[in-house]
Structure 1
Amino acid sequence: MAIIGVYEARTRFSEILDRVAQGERFVITRRGIPVAVIEPVSPQKKRKIEEVIAEIKRFRRKHKLSKLDIKELIEEGRM
C-alpha cells in the first residue's frame, strides 16, 4: 500500500484513480498523519432483469397511492 501526501494526491488524482482501478491501495496523509485510504470497491454482483422486475412488483404491491390518482399527481408536478 503506497503512502502519499495530500498535495501529491490532488495533483495526480486521475493517475491514482487509474492505479486504484487496477487494484492498488493508497493511504493519504496530511502532514505525515494518515487521514484516508483509497482502495478499489468490491465488484457489484449483476442482477438478472427478471429479479429486478420481481422486486419492483413486490414494492408496488406494498406501496399504494391510496386515493390519489396518477393524473392528479402529474398535474401537481409530483411525478
Structure 2
Amino acid sequence: MDKKEFRVLIKHCLLNEKNTVEAKTCLDAECPYTAPGKSTIKDWYTEFRRGELSAEDGGLCGGPKEIFIDKIFKNPQNAF
C-alpha cells in the first residue's frame, strides 16, 4: 500500500470513532510489515481533527533551495 491509501484507512478509523491504538491494531492486522508507525498515525489524526481531511500529502512549503543559494552567492552580505 502507498501513503495515500494508508491515510484513507486512518481517516476511516477516525470517522468510525476509533482511537489511535485501535487504528494501529487494525492496520497491523491487515499490513503487518508496511503499516505506518504509532507516531505517524497520531500525526495524521491530529491533521484530520484540525480539518485537513484530504488524503493527499501536504508536501513541502516554501520556495526551492536554488533560489536561496543563488541569492547568497550573488550578494552574500544581503542574503539574510
> Under a length normalisation based on structure 2, what TM-score does the superposition of the two structures give?
0.27
Q: Which structure has the highest strand share of the two?
A: 1
User: Of the two structures, which has the highest relative contact order with CA contacts closer than 8 Å and spacing of 6 or more?
Assistant: 2
Instruction: Return the structure number with greater helix share.
Output: 2
